[in-house]
Every structure is written in structure tokens, then in C-alpha cells.
Amino acid sequence: MKKRISPLGLINAFILLVLGAITLYPFYNVYVYTFNEGMDSLRAVLYFWPRKFTLDNITKALMQDGIMSAFQISLLRTIVGTLLTLICTSSLAYAMTKRNIKGYRVFSTYFFITFIFTGGLIPFYMTMLKLHLYDTFWVLVLPGIYSFWYMVIFRTFFDSIPKALGEAAEIEGASFMHIFIRVMVPLSKPVYATIGLFAAVNYWNDWFTGLFFVKKQYLLPLQSLLQKVMNETDMISKFGLMLGTNKAAQTVTPYSIKLAIVVISVTPIVAVYPFLQKYFVKGMMLGSIKG
């Protein structure tokens, strides 16, 4: 028996489709302009597809000084930072599920206070200098490996797992870490995927840290390099040698190169979403039920 769709359901579906199209169109339009000849884009407004398809914008963007090393730094930073975030945050969250341990309220209050209040930019800068992290690869990774919000989500998920599983393993002689690694981690794939996706997006999109705490050009992440390009006031002189002097051969513009760099920086992290979508939705729902 086929399920009938009510008029209200059709209206809701139509409204959601329109809102989805409005939301996604600016993102899609960036791709349209990226794969269209830059000079042609100045003469016409592009709506749904490139008028003159080209890969020149992507090619010229990849020829930008330092972009390949920046891409490698961003990729390495995202992988290492995400792994450390999952290990450190989940370990802490599992420890915080043991509410009978001595000093639990003190630690819980301490973590909550650090979530509400921060020291500010100058104390953070001084801390990075004192720890000798300034202008190193680790300044891009270590400050972000802990998040109170991630810890709460992990703890909520661990609390939803029946305690009888851990107690049974403990009776068999399993240690605290053995229970965590062999019992909790395998049962927590949805929340690991959810937090991993959050952490990866944060690491990949962060431009502030690289711009203010890294001086070495080869350590600059992709987003920080993109920010510098966006703030560049004399784009034509910067790319003058690259574009050449023959006007007939100029198919790219500074604006089209900006959009190409945006596409290069955004596409990898967007490509990860479809593979983690089912875990992402499940992890978020389970975390929201317990609150």
C-alpha cells in the first residue's frame, strides 16, 4: 500500500528544496567561476554553468608560491591533530564517567571553568613562547587537541553504554585501560566519527593560528595562505610574471585565482562528509538524547 503524501508535506518538501538550493547555490557558483575563463567571467554573469570551461585557474593557483607545501602542512596537521584530539578527549571523557573517583567534582568544575573563560590572546601568545611552540608545526596542532564540548559528547555516549559490559570485563580481570580500548572504543564508532569530523573541519579551516603564530613560510597552512592572498592589495603585480604580458593569452584574473584557491582548500574536507554521514547523524542523535 502506497503512502499518500499530504498537501502540507508537499509544501514542506518544496520549501526545504528551495532553502537548500539557496544555501548551496553560492558554493556551487564559486565552482562555476573557477572553471570558467577569468576574462570571460568579467564580461558576463555566470549562473548555472561555465560559459568557457578551463582548468587554467586551478593550474595557476597551484603554481602559487608555497601552495603545495601549505596543502601538505594542512593535511598533516589535520590528520595528526584529529588523531590526538580523539585519543586525548575520549580518554579524558571515559575517566570522567567514573564519578566515584576522588576529586571528581574539582576536576569537573575545573574543566567547565576553562570552557567558560579564556585567558585571551596575549596570555596564549606568551604561553606558546614559553613552551617553545611558537613558529613550530606543533603550535598548529597541540592547542586544539582538547575541547570541553567534545569531552561532554564522548562522556554522554560512554554513559549510554550498559555498565554491565565494563563490570563483566572487570570481573574477568581486565584493567581500566583494557576495558576502555577493548570494550568502549569498538562500541563508540559513531561518536568517534562525529567528533573526528568536527575536529578535522576545525583544523583544516583554521587560518588564525598559522597567520599569527607561524613565521616560516614552509609551515604556513593552506587556509592561512589563502587569507594572505585574499588580503593582498596588489594581486596583478603579484601574478604579473605568471600571467604573462600577451593579453590574448590571459585567460585568468586575480579574482578567478582567488576562487580557485578557495575551491582547492574547501574540496578535500567536503569530500570526507559522504563517507562519515551515517556515523555523523547517529553520533549526534545519541549525544542529544542523553543531553
SS (H, E, C) 49-63: CCCCECCHHHHHHHC
pLDDT at 242 over 80: no
Cell of 74: 594542512
Contact status, residue 191 vs residue 286, Cβ threshold 8 Å: yes
Angle, helix 254-290 to helix 67-95, in steps of 10 degrees? 10
Instruction: Give the three-state DSSP class for 221.
Output: coil
Task: Please state the rounded mean pLDDT for residues 265-285.
Answer: 69
| Amino acid identity, position 276 | L
pLDDT in tens, 45-63: 777 888 888 888 888 877 7
How many Å apart are CA 208 and CA 110, to the nearest integer? Answer: 26
Give the pLDDT band (50/70/90) at residue 245: very low
pLDDT at 288 over 70: no
Q: Whole-number mean pLDDT of the chain?
A: 80
Per CATH, the architecture of 65-290 is what?
Answer: Orthogonal Bundle (1.10)
Give the pLDDT band (50/70/90) at residue 137: very high
pTM, full prediction: 0.76
Task: Please state the rounded mean pLDDT for residues 170-175.
Answer: 78
For the chain, give the percent of residues with pLDDT over 90. Answer: 9
Among residues 52, 48, 56, 111, which one has the least CA distance to residue 244? 56
Instruction: Give the three-state DSSP class for 172.
Output: coil
The domain spans of the chain are: 8-54, 65-290
